[in-house]
């Protein structure tokens, strides 16, 4: 019986230690989430407006734009950018994004993969670690796996510029991005969107009769040559910052759930410990009473 008590005590200590770790990780993630959430909340309206403006221009000035980033081509080569986190312990966040990437590859680009014309670009170690064996037959780009170590505009723009240059050079005919879209601390939505070529306005936007009514000064061609790449860099930065906020929100939620589960497990273990202790005391009393009865008899 003493062995059982010792085992329960050790489990209680182990759960207490784990609970302290999960509490600390929750607090760290909460602090990081505040900064990441503020960054994406401040940027999202700006990026959304720029994206709408760009699609408006591309849709309504078709034929007057010579930018290589708006050219629709037959899709013979494709790239899928998989944005995950560098670390785990954030629930199903990374798994959901990886599922999005797998669905995109196997449902839309199976023929390109078989022909050796599919490229996977990884941002974040978790995506690469999970998919490197599954898609060993594809071209895997790992130059930006550690992008989250430096989220400056210049560093993120290096990744988006590589994709834009490759698209302009016809190394890719389409570039898709799989990432997590931040809703709130408890909700992160995995998304797959087309980054290149720039998508035209959808039917709902066209029904609203929204048209490009911009005055280009000094020159439309020169202005668009500068404006379109800048907007694309901003859009890609939004993907990364969205995913960054999602990671910390998911980790904070996961650690909060883990802390709560540890508390429930602690209660059960303490009940079991008290039961085992009562059993041990009852057994000892029974032995004492039995021994005394034997002596008196």
pTM of the model: 0.84
Residue 8 has pLDDT above 60, yes or no: yes
Find the CATH number of the domain harbouring 149: 3.40.1380.10
Q: What is the pLDDT of residues 31-47, one digit of tens each?
A: 999 999 999 988 888 88
Q: What is the pLDDT of residue 2?
A: 59
Q: Is residue 267 part of a domain?
A: no
Highest mean pLDDT among 30-44, 127-141, 218-232: 127-141
Q: What is the pLDDT of residue 151?
A: 92
pLDDT tier for residue 162 given thresholds of 50, 70 and 90: very high
Q: Is residue 152 part of a domain?
A: yes
138 is catalytic: no
Q: What is the pLDDT of residues 243-270, one digit of tens each?
A: 999 999 999 999 999 998 988 888 888 8
Catalytic residue among 90, 138, 178, 246: 90
Q: Is residue 281 part of a domain?
A: no
Q: Is residue 245 part of a domain?
A: yes
Q: Is residue 5 part of a domain?
A: no
pLDDT tier for residue 61 given thresholds of 50, 70 and 90: low
- β-partners of residue 55 are none
Q: Is residue 179 part of a domain?
A: yes
CA angle 194, 198, 203 (to 5 degrees): 85
Q: Is residue 265 part of a domain?
A: no
What is the rounded CA–CA span in Å between residue 39 and residue 24? 23
Q: What is the pLDDT of residue 230?
A: 92
The parent domain of residue 175 ranges over 22-255
Q: Is residue 266 part of a domain?
A: no
What is the rounded CA–CA span in Å between residue 193 and residue 173? 15
Q: What is the mean pLDDT of the chain?
A: 87
Q: Which 3-state string (H, E, C) describes the chain? A: CHHHHHHHHHHHHHHHHHHHHHHHHHHHHHHHHHHHHHHHHHHHHHHHHHHHHHHHHHHHCCCCCCCHHHCCCCCCCEEEEEECCCCCCCCCHHHHHHHHHHHHHHHHCHHHHHCCCEEEEEECHHHHHHHCCCCCCCEEECCCCCHHHCCCHHHHHHHHHHHHHHHHCCCCCEEEEEEEEEEECCEEEEEEEEEECCCCCCHHHHHCCCCCCCCCCCCHHHHHHHHHHHHHHHHHHHHHHHHHHHHHHHHHHHHHHHHHHHHHHHHHHHHHHHHHHHHHHHHHHHHHHHHHHHHHC
Total number of domains constituting the chain? 1
């Amino acid at each position: 019986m003493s062995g059982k008590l010792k085992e329960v005590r050790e489990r209680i200590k182990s759960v207490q230690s784990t609970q302290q770790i999960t509490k600390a990780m929750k607090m760290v993630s909460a602090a990081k989430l505040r900064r990441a959430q503020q960054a994406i909340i401040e940027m999202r309206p700006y990026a959304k407006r720029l994206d709408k403006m760009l699609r408006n221009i591309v849709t309504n000035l078709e034929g007057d734009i010579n930018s290589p980033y708006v050219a629709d081509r037959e899709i013979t080569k494709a790239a899928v950018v998989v944005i995950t986190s560098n670390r785990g312990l954030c629930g199903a966040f990374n798994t959901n994004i990886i599922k999005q990437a797998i669905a995109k590859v196997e449902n839309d680009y199976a023929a390109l993969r078989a022909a050796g014309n599919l490229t996977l670009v990884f941002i974040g170690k978790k995506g690469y670690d999970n998919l490197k064996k599954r898609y060993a037959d594809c071209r895997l780009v790992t130059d930006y796996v550690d992008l989250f170590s430096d989220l400056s505009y210049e560093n993120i723009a290096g990744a988006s510029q590589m994709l834009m240059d490759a698209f302009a050079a016809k190394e890719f005919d389409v570039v898709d991005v799989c990432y997590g879209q931040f809703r709130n601390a408890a909700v992160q939505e995995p998304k797959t969107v087309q980054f290149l070529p720039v998508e035209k306005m959808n039917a709902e936007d066209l029904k609203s009769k929204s048209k490009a009514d911009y005055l280009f000064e000094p020159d439309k061609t020169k202005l668009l040559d500068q404006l379109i790449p800048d907007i694309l860099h901003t859009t890609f930065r939004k993907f990364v910052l969205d995913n960054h906020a999602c990671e910390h929100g998911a980790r904070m939620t996961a650690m909060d759930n883990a802390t709560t589960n540890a508390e429930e497990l602690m209660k059960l273990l303490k009940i079991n410990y008290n039961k085992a202790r009562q059993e041990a005391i009852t057994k000892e009393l029974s032995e004492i009473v039995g021994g005394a009865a034997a002596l008196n008899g």
